[in-house]
Amino acid sequence: MIEFRLPSLGADMDQGTLLEWAVKPGDAVKKGQILAVVDTSKAAIDVETWHEGTVGELLVSPGDKMPVGTVMAILLEPGESPSALPRKPAPPKPAGLPTRRRMVTPAARKLARERGIDLDSLAGTGPDGTVRLADIEQAAARKPGAASEDRSTDIRKTIGAAMARAKREIPHYYVAEPIPLRAALDWLTQANADRPMTERVLPAALLIRAVAVALKRFPELNGLFRNGEFEAAPAVHVGVAISLRQGGLVAPALLHADGKPTRQLMLELADLVKRCRAGSLRRAELSEPTITVTNLGDQGVAEVFGVIYPPQVALVGFGRIAEQAWAQDGTLVAMPVVTASLSADHRVSDGHRGALFLAELRELLQHPEELDR
Amino acid sequence: MTNADIRTVVLSTLLKIAPEVDPQLLRPDRPLRRQVDLDSMDWLNFLVALHEALKVDIPETDYARLVTLDDVVSYLEAATKR
């Protein structure tokens, strides 16, 4: 018998709401198959299983809100028969989110029941957060279109919590370095000339690829700081900061970016951006970044001083790619340049290593063809 | 396709990528990406969508000529006649 639990959905997400089941009891499931779609404050996320088996019983229903760790379903291992199921699986309530008793005025409770409004989704405006009649009336008056407004408020809160934690707990240091990009851009132009429009590579993909490769020699920048200690990650999953049109941002991961050629990363980046904006991300993408890259050059800024996304320990920022007067071999030339910056966690690394990392990044970008292998 | 037909396609493509845009407020003779928040990925998706809608290939070397809405429309108008 396998318990299918709501997995962690990232450092700043401790609960989710089941939107729908993608399977029903009796369905055979494979490793990696998506079983459920769960809504979080940031996006709807496809949750997959890591086991093979048959769906035995679904324990939560669409609309149920649950903390991370909740057993959502029971799967039967291959060869196991449904009689193996416990007769009455008690809905397990793991520690974490305490079941808080909401104070609700009787009139409010009555109206909420009539209108089908979830009391848990409301912030009460009465004394001690008591939900009053006016709160329910307000919630009932909200049109369905107002949902996106709620989501941007949620996103803002989520980002605020993560960034407050970063600034409170992580002793940041910052280093920056201008990187000449003539070789990289010439190589991209040439490579793209032979490619159909849909397969052209943007500089952003090359920059992300270079970061992933550079990190191989700097394991102290790639990993997670948890329970008072740093653990280097075995692979590089680059979180890419993607701004959402309604405001806010998410930073889902390009998984195993260290092992993929640039053109492959570009295809995955395009797909990730598209799904991000459509609000359809996979669980692993949100919970597993080991470092974040933010590219604010398109918005026209020269450089970025990033805030690390906990429990990660580093963030690489890129500003605008622009031509600058550049002295080289005793001559002044017009050179496309990008400023790369690194924000890193002083509990794990020092500015000296950070500076060496940026030097490595600069060197790698002088040989773009090697990054496409 | 007439210039007006192409303009309609361009605007509807733009709205798919940036639904918050009010076409009434766009200045067709001013740089598009300064009026609409389009990053490089949005811009690429915009051009790819136009390529698919109008069956026009846009070489990367021509991207620099596509600055304003008017530029995009006249470029595509010429390209569809080629």
Q: Domains of chain A by range and CATH? A: 2-84 (2.40.50.100), 106-153 (4.10.320.10), 172-371 (3.30.559.10)
Highest mean pLDDT among A116-130, A261-275, A334-348, B11-25: A334-348
pLDDT for position A102: 65
Question: What value does the mean pLDDT of chain B take?
Answer: 90
Contact yes or no for B40 and A274 at CB 8 A: no
Residue type, A145: G
- Report the gap between the CA of B57 and the closest CA in chain A (Å): 7
pLDDT for position A84: 65
Question: Using a CB-CB distance cutoff of 8 angstroms, which residues of chain B are in contact with residue A204?
Answer: 40-41
Question: Which among B18, B44, B47 has CB closest to A245?
Answer: B18
**What tens digit of pLDDT does each residue of A144-165 get?**
444 556 767 888 888 899 999 9
pTM for this entry = 0.71
pLDDT for position A148: 58
Whether A330 has a pLDDT exceeding 80, the answer reads yes
Rounded-to-integer distance, Cα A332 and Cα A361, Å:
23
Question: Using a CB-CB distance cutoff of 8 angstroms, which residues of chain B are in contact with residue A245?
Answer: 18-20, 37
Whether A86 has a pLDDT exceeding 80, the answer reads no
With cut-offs at 50, 70 and 90, classify the pLDDT of residue A93. Answer: very low
Contact yes or no for B59 and A193 at CB 8 A: yes
Secondary structure (H, E, C), A5-18: ECCCCCCCCCEEEE
Give the largest Cα separation in chain B, rounded: 34
Apex A240 CA angle, A239 and A241, nearest 5: 115
Closest residue by Cα to residue A273 from A43, A15, A49, A48: A43
The domain spans of chain B are 3-81
**What tens digit of pLDDT does each residue of A259-274 get?**
999 999 999 999 888 8
Residue in chain B nearest A186 by alpha carbon: B61
pLDDT for position A83: 72
Domain B3-81 in CATH 1.10.1200.10:
yes
With cut-offs at 50, 70 and 90, classify the pLDDT of residue B37. Answer: confident
Beta strands A242-243 and A238-240, pairing class: unpaired
